[in-house]
Structure 1
Amino acid sequence: MSLASTLNKGALAVALLIIAAAAVAQSYPFKPIKIVVPFPAGGGTDVMARVMAERFQESMGQPVLVENRPGAGSIVGLEYVYRAEHDGYTLVLEPNNLVIIGPLYGKLPFDPIADFAPIALIGLSPNMIGGHPSLPARTFPELIAWAKANPGKLNFASCGTATPQHLAGEMLKVMAGIDMTHIPYKGCAPALTDVLGGQVPLFFSTVAHLNPHIKAGKLRGYAVTGARRTSFAPEMPTVAESGFPGFNLDGWFGLLAPGGAPKEVVAKLNAEVNKALARQDVKDKFAAQGYEPLGGTPERFAELIRADLARMDKLIRDVGIKP
């Protein structure tokens, strides 16, 4: 076989691959899509997935099903998606547990970076610090000063061990040099009950859980833990602007496919996500749950996963958090 013939056959093969890829993207989806939620039905991740499923189904003309596969801090659902066909018909809507479970549990049945294809960030769940009015501190600087003057006397509640809210509390302990004790709960609701009752004075939780009680005067709001102020409580400062630059720990949610999903399909799904998040009805449904819509490119989401995985790995190791 001549060199020219070999090159011609190679060029033909490349052309056929390009045509096939374009055909895949053009025909997608030709069957139902499944969005896996690695948590029980009725929770925040589930609600967000069902909002997106409705919009996808309406826009793409195929049934979009939501399937709950809870367990092991989202590992069960993620492993199911990792082992699914890499064709873009099985997706997962995952919060930033994705960057916590590896450092926390050690060896996983999958690689959080290599084995998933980020599609887009879906939403942000801003976290904040709230406290019972019995605490002497009225502002965030006063809270830090009181904690420093009373080492070991301040307890803080979270929705559970190794949740983003728990890690925000541990991060504050490290950056502020304060000694406070974590009281983990099995969910946000029982934690909120005890904080409202004054059994635990401080609570790291979501805007959705804390803000209504802060506005009602039942709790005191100290700061939000993200990189910027939240539109749900624009008057509340961030921890970062209150003397701890670089402090940033919110809860994000994103849509991923199994690694190796066709790039053209990922691009199409990304466009669908951004189109859905631009709709006012979606914004309203998110706001009712205390979520801010995000969107953006797959590359932006992938960069966030890498950066947050490195941050959480260091924090969990430094603090010695165990599952």
Structure 2
Amino acid sequence: MRRRPLLALGAGALALGPGRRVAAQGAAQGFPTRPVRLVVAFPPGGPTDVVARILAERMGRELGQAIVVENRGGANGNIAAEAVSKSEADGYTLLYNTSSIAISRALYRKLAYDVLQDLVPVSLTAASPLALVVNPAMPPRDPAGFIAWVKAEGGRLSYSSGGVGNISHLVSYLVLRHIGAEAVHVPYRGTAAALTDTAAGNVQFTSDTVVTALPLIQDGRVRAIAVSSAERTPLLPEVPTMSESGLTPPGFDLGAWQGIMAPAKTPPEVVARLNAAVAATLADPEVRGRLMQQGARPTGGSAADFARYLGNEVAFWTRVVKESGATAE
């Protein structure tokens, strides 16, 4: 299974048909005239929240109005997504979510919103590859050792994740499927607990974003085996990619992305104004440096590019969720 690389996107504006341009210009004139609310789909203090706040501060300066961050965690990001999808489509309420929103469409049997119908993409903001890590007391020190170890154990090993259908679960599933091995999945309520228990030796391995796993890797509490991006990450230059080391098919390129969305029917020129603010923010060297320190690679791009990418992500994760058998209520 190949993965399309996370797009190397350039900032751009939406194209408008002539019939819609006048109305949109009227809606966008002077926007924003009051603070904008950015609803972060995860609790305060986590890696997603940290990145969102870095961006919000700089975007607020670009727009001339404060971007007020509001955390609404829960249900793998779906509580925030539903709330924003039902908000006024005027650009003053935005959603900050991650790739989990593309997974949720296939994972949950009943959702009160449809990411492809009830929300409009504004811009991708950042991405982080996932790292496959093991407890440091375990034998493998490299991908070849990991493959031999997991196969030799014959399904007796266990791996943790942030929950059934979480990207950390599905990446480990894809690795195990590709190498033809089995292990017991132990889902946790969030990746922090899953990673901590791997470090403690209660489970043997896990996959998590480099953003989250990096401090534990640097402290020697877990050992990195491979990363899920097409190229090695500068944060872990000695750690090979999954695709180069036989853990996944050639060309495999997967990352946990972050992005901003708005309610459907938000005027296109308001979306374009917000997109331009994101582009200017991500072009700021100080912002880029702060994101990289967090393990998040700045991405950006046009709203139209994000919409296409989101459609591809939904299709990809729908296949993976179906193959894995993962479901959530």
> For 1:187-215, what per-residue CA distance to the aligned partner results, in whole angstroms no more than 9, with x for missing partners?
33333332222222212112133333334
The answer to whether the Cα contact below 8 Å between 1:125 and 1:250 also exists between their aligned partners in 2 is: yes
Equivalent positions of 1:122-133 (< 5 A) are 122-133=125-136
Deviation at 1:322, TM superposition (A): 2.4
- Tell me the distance in 2 between the aligned counterparts of 1:23 and 1:296: 25
Aligned to 2:165: 162
SS across alignment from 1:240: coil
Deviation of the 1:34 alpha carbon: 0.9
Contact 1:222 1:236 in 2 (8 A): yes
Q: In the alignment, residue 95 of structure 1 is paired with which amino acid?
A: T
SS of match in other structure, 1:91:
strand
Structure 2 residue identity aligned to 1:138: R
More helix as a share of residues: 1
User: What runs of 5+ residues in structure 2 fail to find an aligned partner?
Assistant: 1-16
Question: Which AA in structure 1 matches 2:108?
Answer: Y
1:66-215 alignment, distance < 5 Å: 66-215=69-218
Structure 1 position 16, deviation (Å): 8.5
Give the Cα–Cα distance (whole angstroms) in 1 for the partners of residues 204 and 56 of structure 2: 39
Counterpart of 2:250 in structure 1 is 245
Q: Which residue of 2 aligns with 1:42?
A: 45
1:245-277 CA-to-partner distances (Å, cap 9, x unmatched) read 243332110101111111111111111101101
**1: distance between equivalents of 2:140 and 2:177?**
20
Of 22, 26, 44, 2:25 maps to 22
The superposition leaves residues 60-81 of structure 1 with CA deviations (integer Å, 9 ceiling, x where unpaired) of 1112211122222222111111
Moved more, 290-299 or 279-288: 279-288
Instruction: Report the Cα distance in structure 2 between the residues aligned to 1:220 and 1:73, rounded to whole angstroms.
Output: 27
Change in CA separation of 1:47 and 1:280 when aligned onto 2, cut-off 3 Å: same
For the residues of structure 1 that align with 2:98 and 2:265, how far apart are their CA atoms? 21
Distance 1:235 1:269 in 2: 38
Residues 34, 65 of structure 1: 8 Å contact kept = yes
- Whether the 8 Å CA contact 2:99–2:256 is kept in 1: the answer is yes
Give how far 1:17 is off: 5.6
Structure 1 equivalent of residue 8 of structure 2: none
Tell me the distance in 2 between the aligned counterparts of 1:257 and 1:251.
20
* Percent of matched pairs sharing the same residue: 39
Question: For 1:27, what is the secondary structure of its paired residue?
Answer: coil
1:77–1:218 CA distance, 2 compared to 1 (3 A):
closer
TM-score (norm 1): 0.89
Secondary structure in structure 1 of the residue aligned to 2:244:
helix
Distance in 1 (alpha carbons) for counterparts of 2:303 and 2:194: 35
Which one-letter code corresponds to 1:281 in the other structure?
Answer: E
Q: What's the counterpart of residue 269 of structure 1?
A: 274
8 Å CA contact retained: 2:128, 2:256? yes
Per-residue displacement from partner, 1:93-139 (whole Å, max 9, x unpaired)?
11011111121112321211121111110111221011123322221
User: CA shift at 1:25, angstroms?
Assistant: 2.9
Aligned to 1:6: none
Q: Which residue identity is paired with 1:318? A: E
Contact kept? 2:62, 2:280, Cα under 8 Å: no
Q: Which 4+ residue blocks in structure 1 deviate beyond 4 angstroms?
A: 14-17
SS at match of 1:108: coil
Q: Which amino acid aligns with 2:255?
A: D
CA positional deviation for 1:217: 3.8
1:309 aligns with one of 308, 314, 320: 314
User: Residue 319 of structure 1: CA displacement?
Assistant: 1.3
Q: Which has the higher contact order (CA 8 A, sep 6+)?
A: 2
